[in-house]
Amino acid sequence: MIALRSPALLLVVVMTFASGCDYVSSPIVDGGGDPITGDGVTRKVLLEDFTGHRCNNCPGAAAIAQQLHDIYGEELILVGVHMTTTFAAPVSPPNTDGSYATDFRTEAGNAYETSLGVSFLPNGSISRKVYNNSLLQGEAAWSSAIADIIGQPADLDIWFSELTYDGLSNTVTAEVKVAVLNPVVGDHNLTIYLIEDHVVDWQYNNDPSLPDPNVEEYDHRHVLRTTVSGTWGVPLVTGSAAAGDTITLSYPNFPVNAAWDPANCSLVAYGYNTASFEVMQVAEGAFQP
C-alpha cells in the first residue's frame, strides 16, 4: 500500500540503503604514494601552510607538509605563512619567561589573511587553487589537492638565473627568468617571497610525537619573512604572452634583515593569474646552495 502510493519515496529509501557502506579491511594501498613523472616541464606546486606559534594543531599540519615534501621532492615547494593576531602575534600580556614574544606576522601574511578570510588554523592553500569548492584547505585535503595539480604540463617555466648573497652588505641580488612554453592569456603577476628555514622558537603543540605542549626549541620550517616584489607581486604578463617569450626581472641588492640566517634563507618566485589567483608555476632558489 505504501509502495504504490509513493514510489518516489521508496526509490530514495532503497537507493540510500543500497549505496550505504564501504567497509575497508586493508587501509594501506600497496605501492601507493609514488609521484607522477613525465617528460617536459611540469607544474610545481606551492603549498602555503597558514600557521602560527600559538596554534596547537599546527605542528601536526607542518609534519604532514614535510611528509608530502618527502614524497614529491623538488616538485612541491613549502612556505609557512604565519598569520592572524590570535596565533602568530606575541602573547599578550607577555609571559614572565619571555616565551612566545616573537611577532611572526608579515605585511604580506596580513594581506593574505584578509583577502582569503582565514580565521581558523591550521589551514593552507595549494597553489591558490579552488579545490572542492574552497580556496582554503585543511591539512587533510593537501595530499589530494596536490595530486590534482602536480606533474601536469606547465605553461610557464621559472628559474633563478642569478641568486647571490653578499655577506658584507647583507644584501641579496636575484634575477628571475620566466619562459612562456604555451600561449598564456590573462594578466599574470610574479611574486617573490624571502623565506627562512629552521627558525628555532617557541610553539604550542598538540602533536603526541613531540614531548611537550609548550615546545621551547621548535624547528619552524620555511618561514615567510618578507616579499621582495611586494605583497601582490609585479606585472609579468599583460593581456597575453606567446610561446617562446622570455621575461627577465632583476632585483639587485635587496636588503636582508640582520636577524635572519642567510645560510637558511631562500627565495620563492611564483607566477599567478591575477583574476583567479591561481599559481601557475613556482621556483625556489637558496642563498647558499
User: Which residues contact other proteins by CB under 8 A?
Assistant: 1-2, 5-6, 8-9, 12-13, 15-17, 19-24, 26-29, 32-34, 56-57, 85-86, 89, 92-96, 98, 114, 116-120, 123, 132-134, 136-141, 143-144, 147-148, 204-206, 213-214
Q: Tell me how far apart the alpha carbons of residues 28 and 10 are, in angstroms, rounded to a whole number.
A: 37
Count of CA atoms in the C-beta half-sphere (13 A) of 76:
26
C-beta closer to other proteins: residue 13 or 263: 13
Nearer to other proteins, 102 or 264 (CB): 102
Contact 167, 187 (CB under 8 A): no
Instruction: State in angstroms the smallest separation of the CB of 119 from other proteins.
Output: 7
15 versus 263: smaller Cβ distance to other proteins:
15
Q: Toward other proteins, which CB reaches closer, 119 or 257?
A: 119
Instruction: For residue 237, give the C-alpha cell.
Output: 604578463
Q: How far apart are CB 278 and other proteins at their closest, in Å?
A: 15
Q: Which is nearer to other proteins, 134 or 161 (CB)?
A: 134
Question: Given CA atoms 76, 77, 78, 79 in this order, what sign does their dihedral have?
Answer: negative
Q: How far apart are CA 30 and CA 28, in angstroms?
A: 6
Please compute, for residue 191, the number of CA atoms within 13 A of its CA located in the half-sphere on the CB side: 21
Minimum CB separation of residue 234 from other proteins in Å reads: 22
Minimum distance from CB of 17 to other proteins (Å)? 6
Rounded (10°) angle between helices 142-149 and 58-72: 30
Q: Name the minimum Å distance from CB 52 to other proteins.
A: 12
Q: Which is nearer to other proteins, 19 or 37 (CB)?
A: 19
CB of 142 to other proteins, least distance (A): 8
Which residue do the cell numbers 611540469 mark?
Answer: 42
Angstrom distance (rounded) from CA 51 to CA 48: 9
Four-CA torsion 91, 94, 100, 104, nearest 10 degrees: 60
Q: Strands 184-185 and 188-196, how do they pair?
A: unpaired
